[in-house]
Amino acid sequence: MGLASAGAAALIAGPVLADVDAFDAWPAWANTEPRRVAFHNLHTGEALDAVYWENGAYVPDALAAVNYHLRDYRSGDVYPISPGLLDVLGNLARRVDTRGPFQVISGYRSAATNAMLRAQSDGVARSSLHMRGLAIDIRLADTDLDRLHRAALGLAAGGVGYYPTSDFVHVDVGRVRRWGG
């Protein structure tokens, strides 16, 4: 499936959840600047660097590309990723002053994938926000994991899980909470 058709499929998959507002902690000056996010999906090897917000609005083609990039790599299912999650990641990247892309361990997860992972680990939530496009597991090549974790906690923008043994930080746009480390 090409990126254009994958993007169309992502848009058809469903609307971004209306009950989760975009995280709007950008300084006033940044509301006129484009917002960019960069990813390297460790499972697919794919890279994405996209301006997802500009001229006062989210960019539909960029959101579709993000949806495809963060798809469930096991099933190929594409689902809308919350633009608020992208805003959190943008703020996190600024906070740690990263030069590289977020390395993606897990973005969207289908119900079947989540059930399979849950059967293998106690650390997978039954109603994981990954299944709603509201969570991502990440690390940065140029940022110490503990620093990334502390920076995510400092945003107070949702849930933050710390998994130093598995070398990733979970970030979501659910209620503010923390676990691990």
For 139-174, the pLDDT digits (tens) are: 999 999 999 999 999 999 999 999 999 999 999 999
Confidence (pLDDT) at 125: 86
Whether 11 shows a pLDDT value over 80: the answer reads no
- The pTM of this model reads 0.83
Whose CA is closest to 160, among 135, 132, 141, 123?
A: 135
Structural domains of the chain in order of their starting residue, each with its CATH number: 3-179 (3.30.1380.10)
Residue % of the chain over a pLDDT of 70: 82
Measured in Å, how far apart are the chain's first and last C-alpha atoms? 40
CA 170/CA 152 separation, integer angstroms: 9
Nearest to 80 by CA among 138, 6, 11: 11
